[in-house]
């Protein structure tokens, strides 16, 4: 597979992300798909959708789950409503992600992603052990479908996420790294976090943001790619050092008119292509000028 194929976060019904046609116009070879609503997740629809993707020459790399009742209004509301952490909705949501995993299998996709929610920083918190238990069940279901589970980053610092991954202890549990979320939620400098979590990273979002005045208490601000505090060149160089060769999926979450969104994502694609060429160029020079090594040396 090509190194770092570009992608966008896309949806097929009322879900989040750009429409497939926009992905096609942007010329990207991959998408991450926001799972469609339950009524849409049929075998028949999966086949129709796959035929459409073949026509467009687009491949799905991850199917992302989201849930009714989630709200990103402010950080405390996220903690109360998002993912598998809130206990009241946990078992129903587990069943729903299992269904989404089954739908992803119909689409031939081997990775399911989600925001697990705000994992408590204190391991003694019952929400921590409850979330560990439900994540194990979900990993095991994904395994039965030949899939990995990718947790989106940013709602907790890297060290908390590492402890959580270790506690779950499933070898099909990985990370979808989103550098902007680290800034938006005030959960740590993104490149430092990427280095800590690097061995788990199997998919990434290319998204940018500016720090809040009071990080962690109020949202940072999502901005177009290259205009925020992530540092896209440093981000890609770090992914390169970590040996990450998978898709670079642009995510632009702020709802806005489609033409503006397409124009902004188009600029993001140009930026990533320029950086890819620059970084690959550096690699070529290193190869040319590095001293030849004898066999067995
Ligand atoms: Mg993201």
Q: What is the Å distance from ligand 1's center to 43 Cα?
A: 27
Half-sphere exposure for 97 (CA within 13 Å, toward CB): 31
CATH for 117 = 3.20.20.150
Q: Is residue 57 part of a domain?
A: yes
Domain encompassing residue 100: 6-294
Residue 253 lies in a domain: yes
Q: Is residue 112 part of a domain?
A: yes
In the chain, % of residues over pLDDT 90: 82
Q: How confident is the model at residue 63 (pLDDT cuts 50, 70, 90)?
A: very high
- Asked if the model's pLDDT at residue 281 lies above 80, the reply is no
Query: Residue 201: inside a domain, yes or no?
Result: yes
> Which one is predicted more confidently, 292 or 238?
238
Write the pLDDT tens digit of every residue in 21-36: 899 999 999 999 999 9
- Ligand 1 center to residue 253 CA distance, Å? 8
Mean pLDDT score, 38-47: 94
For residue 271, is it within any domain?
yes
Give me the pLDDT at residue 284, please. Answer: 47
Q: From the CA of 269, how far away is ligand 1's center (Å)?
A: 16
Token couple for 99: 């269904």
Instruction: Confirm whether 35 is domain-assigned.
Output: yes
CB-based contact 109:149 (threshold 8 Å): no
Ligand 1 centroid to 155 CA: how many Å? 11
Tell me the C-alpha distance between 166 and 124, whole Å: 15
Q: Please determine, for residue 15, whether its predicted confidence score (pLDDT) is greater than 70.
A: no
Quote the ligand 1 centre to 35 CA distance (angstroms). Answer: 14
Distance 214 CA to ligand 1 centre (A): 21
Please tell me the predicted confidence (pLDDT) of residue 261.
85
- pLDDT the model gives residue 256: 67
pLDDT of residue 260: 84
DSSP string, the chain: --SS-EEEEEESSSSSSB-HHHHHHHT-SEEEEEPPPGGG--HHHHHHHHHHHHHHT-EEEEEEP--TT---SSHHHHHHHSTT-SHHHHHHHHHHHHHHHHHHHHTT--EEEE------S-TTSHHHHHHHHHHHHHHHHHHHTT-EEEEEPSSS-HHHHHHHHHHH--TTEEEEE-HHHHHHTT---HHHHHHHHGGGEEEEEE-EEE--SSBTTB--EEE-TTSSSS-HHHHHHHHHHTT--S-EEE---S---HHHHHHHHHHHHHHHHHHHHHHHHHHHHHHHHSPP--TT-
Is the CB of residue 242 less than 8 Å from the CB of residue 198?
yes
Distance 33 CA to ligand 1 centre (A): 12
1 falls within a domain? no
Q: Please indicate whether residue 114 or residue 296 has the higher confidence score (pLDDT).
A: 114
Note the pLDDT tens digit of each residue in 173-224. 999 999 999 999 999 999 999 999 999 999 999 999 999 999 999 999 999 9
pLDDT tens-digit series, residues 103-137: 999 999 999 999 999 999 999 999 999 999 999 99
Report pLDDT for 89.
Answer: 97
291 pLDDT more than 60: no
Distance 296 CA to ligand 1 centre (A): 45
| Counted domains in the chain | 1
**Assigned domain for 162 exists:** yes
pLDDT at 297: 43
Write down the pLDDT at residue 17. 78
**What spacing in Å lies between the alpha carbon of 287 and ligand 1's midpoint?**
34
């Amino acid at each position: 597979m090509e190194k770092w194929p570009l992608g966008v976060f896309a949806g097929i019904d009322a879900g989040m992300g750009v429409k497939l046609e926009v992905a096609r116009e942007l010329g990207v070879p991959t998408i991450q798909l926001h799972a469609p609503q339950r009524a849409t997740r049929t075998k028949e629809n999966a086949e129709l959708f796959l035929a459409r993707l073949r026509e467009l020459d687009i491949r799905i790399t991850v199917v992302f789950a989201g849930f009714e009742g989630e709200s990103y209004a402010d950080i405390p509301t996220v903690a109360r409503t998002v993912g598998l952490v809130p206990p009241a909705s946990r078992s129903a949501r587990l069943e729903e992600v299992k269904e989404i995993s089954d739908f992803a299998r119909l689409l031939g996709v081997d990775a399911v992603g989600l925001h697990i929610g705000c994992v408590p920083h204190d391991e003694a918190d019952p929400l921590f052990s409850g979330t560990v238990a439900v994540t194990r069940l979900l990993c095991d279901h994904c395994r039965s479908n030949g899939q990995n589970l990718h947790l989106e980053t940013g709602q907790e610092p890297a060290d908390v996420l590492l402890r959580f991954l270790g506690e779950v202890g499933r070898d099909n549990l990985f990370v979808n790294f989103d550098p902007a979320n680290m800034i938006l939620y005030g959960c740590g400098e993104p490149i430092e976090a990427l280095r800590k979590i690097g061995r788990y990273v199997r998919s990434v979002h290319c998204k940018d943001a500016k720090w809040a005045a009071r990080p962690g208490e109020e949202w940072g601000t999502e901005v177009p790619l290259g205009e925020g505090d992530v540092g896209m060149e440093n981000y890609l160089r770090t992914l390169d050092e970590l040996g990450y060769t998978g898709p670079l999926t642009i995510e632009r979450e702020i709802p806005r008119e489609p033409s503006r969104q397409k124009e902004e994502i188009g600029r993001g694609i140009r930026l990533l292509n320029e950086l890819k060429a620059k970084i690959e160029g550096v690699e070529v020079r290193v190869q040319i000028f590095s001293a030849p090594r004898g066999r067995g040396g």
